[in-house]
Structure 1
Amino acid sequence: MPWYDDSMHLTAGHLNISQSIIRRYRIVAIPACNEAVHIATCLKALAAQQAIRPHAVVIWINNSTDGTLQCVEALAPRLPFTVHVRTVDYAASEASAGRARRDAMACAASLAPEDALLFTTDADGAVAPDWMRRTLAAFARYKVGAVFGRALLFPHEASSIPAHLQVDDDAEQAYAAALERISAQLAPDWHDPWPRHAEHSGASIAVTRTAWAAVGGIPDVASSEDRAFYQALRQGGFPARHAPDVFVYVSARVVGRARGGMAETIARRLIAQDPFIDDALETVAERMRRIRRHVIGMTVHPPIRRADLPRHHARALRVLARLQRMRDAASMSSAEQAGPDDTMPFVPRDHAAIHAPGTP
């Protein structure tokens, strides 16, 4: 018996997805370097997608010395989509995770029609069962050029990470969420309303082929190509949705393939915690300054010391509380000015959150 339910293929499930979105060609690009242990799990997760699966998958096997190719070849005939395998050996001066993802996506684009949707994920991950369906729902609802999902650690592997590192990560995530909520209230983005996240992980990116081509594909950088791609989309005028209900499980391994990637970060922090938090996180003052000046993308700013994070988070919460008081005051003023028969309930500026996917 197969690990996927073929009766669910090409239906929208309970989500409201237009047929025009469902009919678009879907292809997934997966860079893989020495992933013989994980690649089968990755491909089986794509095959087991609820309702909507990819039409094709590109496996970009680069600089591998293990049995990744043999694993893919053995599994491919049993998969419910076309598998395109490409093998390449980069010179040492050219080999990088960024280069591999850039070329994998370019290969996928060359095999797809102009109105296709291009996806990419990691070979050591497993997309959630509704990953593709919810991604398409985000495209249909928000009319965006790209959808970014979240990368979560496999639960059975996350338990191997010391508790104090998990507490530190939770604190960073909470601060990032507070910054995003401040942005959502001061500068509402109807393509990307609250609730949303602030991740730009290569483990979960989907983009229209049009937007991908217009910005020149994945930027040619050795690492953090996922963040660079998001900035390229923003600068190119293509809105993106940070969908909180789209996610992928990834490995918590400490020996990774990408320099500067998650595995390297975990390994480094197991020895000694980083003194600074993620350099993508700025102070509340800097975030509000960017909003006032309509600055797109990140600016150069001093890193935040981990020891100072509670103070910055507390300030973010104070700003959010002040914004709430201002909204409450505006609501009362509107009610006082309205007549007895035309009083309308106050609708918050981030009211789209009430009806966002995955929100009760």
Structure 2
Amino acid sequence: MIGVIVPAHNEEALLAPCLAALIYAARHEALAGERVRIVVVLDTCDDFSGAIARAYGVETLTLKVRNVGIARAAGADLLLAADARWLAFTDGDSRVSAGWLAAQLALQADAVCGSIAVDDWTAHPLSVREYFYKTYVDADGHRHIHGANLGVSAEAYRRAGGFPPLPCSEDVALVERLVASGARVAWSAAPRVITSARAAARARGGFGDTLAAWAVQ
């Protein structure tokens, strides 16, 4: 079984397209019918995120910690207890491609760090978009780490000790743990994810804050 974890804090505006894309990716022919379980970890939500997740027929786990590291770890623990062999992580404001899961598994690595693309820059000045395209490497061999596009085998995740309870940069910390444990990490642009460049960031210190900082450079 393949497990997919989506941490969510008040994602009602973007969660539906996120889940629709995940469900489509879970049906990819290259997965040969292997079961995919999608879990939305609802962290301190007071909007309709839970109702949207249930309407799409995916599992939910409710927390009140306001901590994305804890949320990702809780979702992973739930799926590992159900014997997931592979864990894939994205975010509630992101849309994976149809071949996202298939591409992760095809790399035959212990972990996969994928790149991201942005399809709407209207919340930011032109200079932010230009700086992104100038500095971001969307190609194999990149060294970007995104919680919105991350996969890891169950064995490697356990060996590395999982996500630390960090409110941001939990994805970076996990990959550092994976590397330290000797895991084979694929830095690939093959698993495709489109993510939001919204100005109102959900996690302090995350991608949204990075974009905001570029705007005042």
* Match status 1:87 vs 2:62: yes
Partner of 2:192: 247
Check the 8 A contact 2:123/2:199 in 1, yes or no. Answer: no
More helix by share: 1
Give the deviation of 1:60 after TM superposition: 0.6
Residue 166 (structure 2) aligned to one of 221, 231, 253: 221
Partners of 1:222 and 1:48 lie apart in 2 by 30
| 1:66-107 per-position Cα deviation (integer Å, ceiling 9, x unaligned) | 01111111221xxxxxx32111112xxxx3222222222222
Choose the corresponding residue for 1:171, options 134, 145, 150: 134
Q: Quote the Cα distance in structure 2 between the aligned partners of 1:225 and 1:54.
A: 27
CA contact (8 A) 1:124 1:250 kept: yes
Q: Which has the larger strand fraction? A: 2
Q: Give the aligned partner of residue 43 of structure 1.
A: 19
User: Deviation at 1:108?
Assistant: 2.1
Change (3 A) 1:128 1:263: same
Q: Give the Å deviation of 1:159.
A: 4.7
Name the CA distance, whole Å, in 2 between partners of 1:162 and 1:101: 32
TM-score of the pair, normalised by structure 1: 0.56
Distance 1:162 1:257 in 2: 20
Residues 97, 259 of structure 1: 8 Å contact kept: no
CA contact (8 A) 1:106 1:217 kept: no
How far is 1:249 from its partner? 0.5
Q: How far, CA to CA, are the matches of 2:158 and 2:201 in structure 1?
A: 29
Residue 145 (structure 1) aligns with: 110
Gaps of 5+ in 1: 1-24, 77-82, 178-193, 274-360
Moved more, 160-169 or 208-217: 160-169
Residue in structure 2 matched with residue 104 of structure 1 by the alignment: 75
The RMSD of aligned alpha carbons is 1.9
1:46-68 CA-to-partner distances (Å, cap 9, x unmatched) read 12223237611111101001011
Mapped pair 1:158 → 2:129: no
Aligned equivalents of 2:189 and 2:214: distance in 1? 26
For 1:129 and 1:159, the matched residues in 2 are separated by: 26
- Contact 1:204 / 1:248 at 8 angstroms: preserved in 2? yes
**1:58 and 2:39 are equivalent in the alignment:** yes
Aligned residues: 212
Q: Which runs of 4+ in 1 moved over 3 A?
A: none
Deviation at 1:195, TM superposition (A): 3.7
- The runs of 5 or more residues in structure 2 that have no matched partner are none
Q: Kindly name which structure, 1 or 2, has the bigger radius of gyration based on alpha carbons.
A: 1
Q: 2 CA distance for matches of 1:206 and 1:260?
A: 22
Amino acid at match of 1:219: P
SS in 2 for 1:108: helix
* Candidates 241, 245, 266, aligned match of 2:211: 266
